[in-house]
Structure 1
Amino acid sequence: MNRSKALFRTLFPSLLLGLSLLQGCASMEPATGKQATASASICNQANSAVIDYFGLIDSAKKERPELVEALAKFPKGADLHNHLSGTVMPEDYIALGSAEGDCFGPDTSVPTMYAITTAAASGACNAGFKPLAKASADERQKLVQSLSMYQFDYQGIQSGHDQFFATFGRFGAVSGSFSNEGPMLAKLLQQANADNVIYVETMMSFQPAAVSRLADLLRQRYPDASYYTESSNYPALFDYLLSAGLKNAVIAAQKDIAAYVSSTNAVLRCGAADQDPACDVSYDFQAAVNRNASMKDGSADLPKIFTQTAISCLLADAEKRVVGVNLLSGEDQPVSMQSFSTQMQFFSYFHGRFPKVNIALHGGEITPCFVGDGNPALKDHLTGSIRAGAKRLGHAVSFSYLNDVDKAEVAAVMKSNNTLVEIPFTSNAQILGVAGEEHPFPQYFRKYGIPAAFSTDDEGVSHADYTSEWIYAVMKYGITFSEAVRLARFSIQYSFLPGDPLWTDVASAKIVSQCAGQAPGSSDPAEPCRAFLAGSAKARTQWSYEAKLSRFDNEYGPKLRKYLGN
C-alpha cells in the first residue's frame, strides 16, 4: 500500500466507514457505553433457537442430501433484505484487508476478540497489532470467529445479540475502504448466484461526511429538540437543508453509485467473453438511515437522523439505482426505542413529500426478552412503521408476542396496506433467539395470509447462506412445493423494481390480462404481452424467473416434490 493511500485511510476513517456502509442490521459502531449497558442485563435466557435452527439444517445435509441439492438449485427469486457489509464472509474480509496492508489485534471492547484496523501512514501497525497478511493459521481462525458468528459459544440470547452487532466495528476498517466496495458487491452477487437468486436489493448508507456536515448546520440553525418532534416544522428543516447543499450531496452520491457499479463490473468482468456468471444477477440499492445516531451523551441525534432521511429520500427520488429507503441498526437500543415515534414522523413527512419513493423498514425486530413483557413497542413498531409508509417490514418478529386481538389488528393493517414481511430465519435465531414455533412466519403466511419472503440479512456475519433459510423452512414448517414457488414469486412481486408486476394476484397465480393464455417464461411471448414486458423491469424479471422455474421443474421438480409434496 503506498504512502498516500495509507495517509488517506489513516486521516479519514469515519468517512471511509460511512462510504462502505459499514452497517448491516448493526449500528455504525458496536454497542458501547449507555447502549451496551442498557441491553446487557435484560436478556440472558439460553438461546435454544440457535441449536434448533442449525441442528435441523445439519441434519438435513447429513440425512437428506438429495433434498439439500434440489433446494440449492431451486430458483429463489429475490433477496430483498440484505446489508452489503454484513454479507461479505470474514474470510473475504481477511483477504481484502491483507491486500491493503491492514493490521489486527485485540478489540478494545472485547479483548478476547480480534479487530482489524488500518495501518499508520508509514505502513506500520500500532502497538499490540500485527500485519493482517502475516496472521498465523490459528490467528486467522480466531479472526473468522471475531468477525462473524462462526463457532460462537452462545452463553445466552444477549451474548449472541451483542456478538452479532459487534462484528461490524471489527471489520469496519476493511468494509470502510472505498476501493473494497466493488469486490464487496461482487461477493454479494456471486453468493446470490450460487444460491440461485435472480435479483438483490442491498442496503447502503451514502455520503456520510456530507450528512454529518449538513446535520451540524441544521443543529446550529435549529438547536431545540422541539423543532424535530413537531412535524409542522419539517418543511422549514428540509428547505434549510436544500439551501445548505443537500442536492450537491445527492449528486456526489450518484457519482459514488456509478463508481460502485463500474468497479463491480470490472471485478466480475461483466461484458467480457469470460464474464462471471454473477453478472446475470441484477441488483439495486436501498439508501439506509441509522436509527441510533446519537450525541456524545447518548441522547438521540435527531438532526442527523432527519438529515440522513432527507438525503436518502432525495437520492431515491433522483437515482434509478436507489429503489428504496430503509432504517437500520439495533431496534432495541435506547435511541431507537425512545425516538421511534419521532422517526416515524420523519418518514411520514418524506413519504408525503416524495410519494413515489419506496420505503421498507426494519420493524418489530424486538422481543419481550429485550424490551419487556407487554411493551407497547411490540405492536407499535409494526403498525407505526406501516403507517409511516413502509411497504415491507423486515423481521417483524414481535408479532409472536401479541395477544390474539392485537395480532388480528396488525394483520388487518398489513393486509389493507398490502405489506410484505421479510423473513431472515438465521439472524432472528442468532440475534433474538427466536425460531421454530415461536417464530411468526407460519402465522403470517398461513394463518393470516400475509405475503412473506425469505431473506439473508447478513449472511457473512451469520456465516450462512440463503439456501439454509429454505432448508430450515422445509424441515421445520413443512412448506410444500407450491408454497415455495409462492414465496419466491412474492419476493419479486414486492421488490422495488420499477414497472407493473406480472401477477395481479400471486396467491392465486392470476396473471395480467396482457399475458393471459401464455406460458409464463416462454421464450417468445406474443403481443400484447411482449409490449407489456418491454415496459416493466419488474415483469421482465418475473418472466425470467418463470423461465428458470420451468427449467428447474423439468430437471429437479420430481426430486423436490418427493420431499415437499405439491
Structure 2
Amino acid sequence: MKKYLTLIFLFFYFSVDAQSVNTYLDKIRNNPAKLTAFFSQMPKGGDLHHHYSGSVYAETFIKYVIEKDYFLNKQTLEVNNRKTSEDENWTKFSTLEKDGQLSEYKFRLLQKWSIKDYNQVSIPSDKQFFETFPNFSIASRNDVETGLLEIKKRAIDEHVSYIETTFFSPACGRTDDVSLQFDPKLQVVLKEKNVTHCQAILDTVYGELIKKDIISCADNFSANTITKTHSSLHIDDDLFTMRYQTYTVRTFEATEVFKRLLSAFDAASKNPLIVGVNILSPENNDIAMRDYWLHMQMFRYLHMKYPGVKYSMHAGELTLGLVKPEELNWHINAAVFDAGASRIGHGVDMPYETNSYALMNYMKKKGIAVEINLSSNEFILKVKEGRHPVTLYKEFQVPIVISSDDAGVLRTNLTEQYVLLANRYPEFTYQDIKEIVYNSIKYSFIKEPDIKQKLTAKLDKDFIQFEKLILVTSKMEH
C-alpha cells in the first residue's frame, strides 16, 4: 500500500512539474532568445534524420584541406590534393598564406561549402544546398574521425544522447554488363507498372549481382568502414550512442541503384551498428522522378530477402512549383504502401497526397514515424510556418520526430529545430514536445533492446533535472 501511494505521489508531482513547465513555455513562446536558452538545456533524445557529411561544419573541412596544403583553384574554388591541370589558377594553400590571401579564400570556401550568406538570388536555394556536398567531399571522406568526433561533442553539448546518421555506402566494383542487360528491361517494366513482372526481373538481377561478389563487398564495408571506425573512436559511452544508416543513391540508372541497395541491405542485416537503409539525393532529379516507382519495387523486393532490415525513406521532399502537381500526390503513398517504409523522411508533400487522411491514419496505426526537418524544408523547399504539414501530422496523431538533417551545411543545430517548432506552432504543448523527444528513441532503429532501455532511462532522469531547473527559473522571474 505504501509503495502504491508513493507511485501516486510521484505521478502527481511530475504531472505538476510538467504543467508548470508548459506554463513557462507558453510564456516565452514569442521570445526566441528565451526559447533558445530553454531548448538548449532540454534533453532531446535522438536525432534520427541526420547526414554525417552535411552535419560537420565547413570550418572543420576547410581546416583539414589547409593543414594538408592541398591545391585550390582560385577561380572555381575547387580543392584537390594534386594539380589537375597547368591552369595558373591552381595554387597551394601555403602559397595563399604566404601571399596574405588565405583569409579571403577561407571565407569564400565557407560560402561555397555551406549556405552562409546565401543571398536568395544567385542560384536556386535547392541547387545551392545540394551542390555543397561534392565540393567538400575530399575532406568529408578523408577526415572521418574528426567529423564524427565533432558531431558527438556537439550532440553532448546539446543534450542529445543518440544520433542515427546516414554515413557511407559500400563502394562495390562496376557491373556494367549487368546494367547493359537489365536497364532497358527495367525501363519497359516501369512503363507497364506490372509489379509481378518487375519483381521477377529484380529476382534475376539479384542472382546476377550475387555472382559479382557484392556480398563480400558489403562485408568489407561493414567491418572496415563501420565497425573499425566506430570502435577505434570509442564513439559510444555513458553520455552518447551513435548508429548508422547506409543507403543507395536515386540518381543512378536502375541496376546501379539496385546493386547499391542490395549491398546496403546485406550490410544492415549483419551488423548491429548498421541499423537501417535509406535512399538519398534530390527527389526531383530527372532520373529520381522517372524511376521512383521502380525504386519502391526494389525496396519491396529486398524487404522480402531481408525482412529484419528497417529503412527510412526520403519521400515527399517536394512542393508545388518544384515539380508538376500530379507528381505531388503519390510519393509518400508509394513509400508506405509499395515499399513498406519504417519511417518517412521529410514528408512535406503530404497535403497533396491522394487520400492523405487515410494515409496518415495508416501511418498512425502502423507506427510509421515522420522525420520533420524545419530548417531544411524552409531553405530547400521554401516551405515554412503554416505551409508546413507538421500540424497536419499532429492532428492525425502520426508519430513525429524532430531532426536536424544537415546542420553543418544549413548552419543550424537540433536546438534550433525545437525553437522553430515551439515558436511557430503553439499547438505543440510542452507535453507534446516531450513526447516527440521520447519518440526519437522509441522509433529509432536501434537493434539492441538494452541500448534503447538505457537511453530511455537516461531521458527519464534528465527530464526530471530539467523540469526542476525550469521550475526554479520560472519562480525567479516572479
Report the TM-score, using the length of structure 1 for normalisation: 0.72
> Is the alpha carbon distance of 1:318 and 1:336 closer, same or farther for their aligned partners in structure 2, counting shifts above 3 Å?
same
Structure 2 matches for 1:36-185, cutoff 5 A?
A: 65-105=33-73, 111=76, 114-120=77-83, 127-132=88-93, 134=97, 136-155=102-121, 159-177=124-142, 180-185=143-148
Q: Are 1:226 and 2:186 matched, yes or no?
A: yes
Q: Paired residue for 1:384, among 334, 343, 352?
A: 334
Q: Any conservation in 2 of the 1:86–1:460 contact (CA below 8 Å)? A: yes
Task: Specify which of 324, 333, 336 is matched with residue 285 of structure 2.
Answer: 333
SS at match of 1:151: coil
SS in 2 for 1:186: helix
Give SS of 2:78's match.
strand
Amino acid aligned to 1:481: Y
For the structure 1 residues 561 and 231, does the alpha-carbon distance in structure 2 shift closer, same or farther, using more than 3 Å as the test? Answer: farther
TM-superposition CA deviations, 1:140-188 (whole Å, max 9, x none):
11111111011100128x71111001111111221132xx111111111
Q: Following TM superposition, by how much is the alpha carbon of 1:125 offset from its aligned partner in structure 2, in angstroms?
A: 8.9
**For residues 372 and 306 of structure 2, what CA distance do their matches in structure 1 show?**
27
Deviation at 1:242?
1.7
Conserved? CA contact 1:84–1:185, under 8 Å:
yes
Tell me which residue corresponds to 1:422. 371
Counterpart position of 1:504 = none
Partner amino acid, structure 1, of 2:301: Y
Sort the Cα spacing of 1:234 and 1:436 in 2 relative to 1 into closer, same or farther, 3 A. same
CA deviation after TM superposition for structure 1 residue 433, in Å: 0.3
Amino acid at match of 2:289: M
Q: Does 1:199 align with 2:175?
A: no
Unaligned runs of 5+ in 1: 1-59, 272-278, 294-300, 500-534
The CA deviation at 1:264 is 2.8
Q: How does 1:185-264 map to 2 (within 5 A)?
A: 185-208=148-171, 210=172, 212-213=173-174, 215-220=175-180, 222=182, 224-226=184-186, 229=190, 230-254=198-222, 255-264=224-233
- State the partner residue of 1:538: 452
CA contact (8 A) 1:103 1:125 kept: no
Name the aligned partner's letter for residue 90 of structure 1: A
Tell me the distance in 1 between the aligned counterparts of 2:119 and 2:280. Answer: 26
Give the alignment's TM-score, normalised by structure 2: 0.85
Structure 1 residues 167 and 125, CA gap change in structure 2 (3 angstroms):
farther
- Residue 67 of structure 1: how far off its partner (Å): 3.1
Checking the alignment, whether the CA contact within 8 Å between 1:103 and 1:131 is kept in structure 2 is yes
Counterpart CA distance in 2 for 1:312 and 1:562 is: 53
Q: Give the drift of 1:415.
A: 2.2
Q: Look up the SS of the partner of 1:149 in the other structure.
A: coil
Counterpart residue type for residue 353 of structure 1: K
User: Are the equivalent residues in 1 in contact too, given 2:30–2:423 (CA < 8 A)?
Assistant: no
* Superposition map of 1:460-479 within 5 A: 460-478=408-426, 479=428
Return the alpha-carbon distance in structure 1 between the equivalents of residues 474 and 257 of structure 2: 46
> 1:233 and 1:62, CA in 2 relative to 1: closer, same or farther beyond 3 A?
closer
Q: Which residue of 2 aligns with 1:439?
A: 388
Matched residue, 2:248: 289
1:391 Cα deviation (Å)?
A: 1.1
Shift in Å at residue 545 of structure 1?
A: 1.5
What is the letter of the counterpart of residue 380 of structure 1? Answer: W
Deviations 1:443-488 (A, max 9, x none): 101x111111110110110011111101111111123211110110
Separation (CA, whole Å) in 1 of partners of 2:447 and 2:206: 27
- Residues 385-424 of structure 1: pairs in structure 2 closer than 5 A: 385-387=335-337, 388-402=339-353, 406-424=355-373
Q: Residue type of the partner of 1:391? A: S
Change (3 A) 1:216 1:263: farther
% identical aligned pairs: 23
TM-aligned CA distance change 1:224 to 1:66, over 3 Å? closer
Indicate conservation of the 8 Å contact 2:268/2:274, yes or no: yes
SS at match of 1:280: coil
Greater CA drift, 234-243 or 416-425: 234-243
Distance change >3 Å, CA 152–CA 192, structure 1 → 2 = same
Q: CA deviation at 1:66?
A: 3.6
Secondary structure (helix, strand or coil) at the match of 2:243 reads strand
What SS is found at the alignment partner of 2:229? helix
- Structure 2 residue runs without a partner (length 5+): 1-27, 191-197
Q: What is the RMSD of the two structures over their aligned residues, measured on CA atoms? A: 2.6
- Mapped to 2, the partners of 1:235 and 1:562 lie a distance apart of 67
